[in-house]
Structure 1
């Protein structure tokens, strides 16, 4: 009888872990806004050398911060996996791990927007108008699910 409960708990844990991984890998939207912004800045706008330099500096600084936040999200995934392994269900540790993960994801989103606005401030008014159009388009297009 104990063996049966252990098997059920193991299967439930594996299913929970698989669901988390599927959600993170397949269902999470691609960073399409950043891709569109990057393409616009470097391929379609005619930036002068001073703008190119300032944008490059902003991108380099943000890359460091983004990497740090992504490392936090990976650590959050490990904490979530440990909580799932310990609780075998949606208990207080799992809930806290999910909340922490959402906090870091939200921080990344906020800092990404701050980065986007910092780059926008480097642009001339005509460039800023194209930039705004690209941002709105990227944010309002339906999400694509990778299959």
Structure 2
């Protein structure tokens, strides 16, 4: 009886290990094989064949936008923290909860506006041919379509 229980446990352990290994491999293979679309930043630098002057202009625009984006994301995180604290304290849709929601929406709206300004500012540095490719990419990103 003891020998049979040991054999049963050993076989169960080996089968569980095999099942776990197959599951891990399958998951890794599935997610690794999914094609990730390049970011707008990657497309600009990889596909548009920028001149050195354009690259310098784009780098300056990107640095400025990055700082703006970081500031707005910090504002959104702070508003979310205030929202969480207000919900925990008030436990209802209070004036403080509503104010935190409005603060978050304001920061999010400003981030979207700054992003659109960034897109148009980058576009101004491009040639007409580059603009055509850029416009198609921006439109595809906004409508979640493939190029």
TM-score exceeds 0.5:
yes
CA apart distance, 1:90: 1.7
Q: Which runs of 5+ in 1 are unaligned?
A: 1-31, 143-147
Task: Answer with 1 or 2: which has the greater Rg.
Answer: 2
Structure 1 residue 103 corresponds to structure 2 residue 135 = no
Q: Judge conservation of contact 1:36–1:135 (CA < 8 Å) in 2.
A: no
Which residue of structure 2 lines up, in the alignment, with residue 124 of structure 1?
127
Structure with more contact order per residue of length (Cα contacts < 8 Å, sep ≥ 6): 1
Structure 1 residue 64 corresponds to structure 2 residue 64 = no
Q: Judge conservation of contact 1:36–1:134 (CA < 8 Å) in 2.
A: no
Counterpart CA distance in 2 for 1:121 and 1:36 is 19
Which residue of structure 1 lines up, in the alignment, with residue 78 of structure 2?
75
* Count of equivalent residues: 110
Moved beyond 2 Å, runs of 4+: none
Counterpart CA distance in 1 for 2:103 and 2:68 is 18
Q: Which runs of 5+ in 2 are unaligned?
A: 1-35
CA apart distance, 1:100: 1.1
**Cα RMSD after superposing both structures:** 1.8
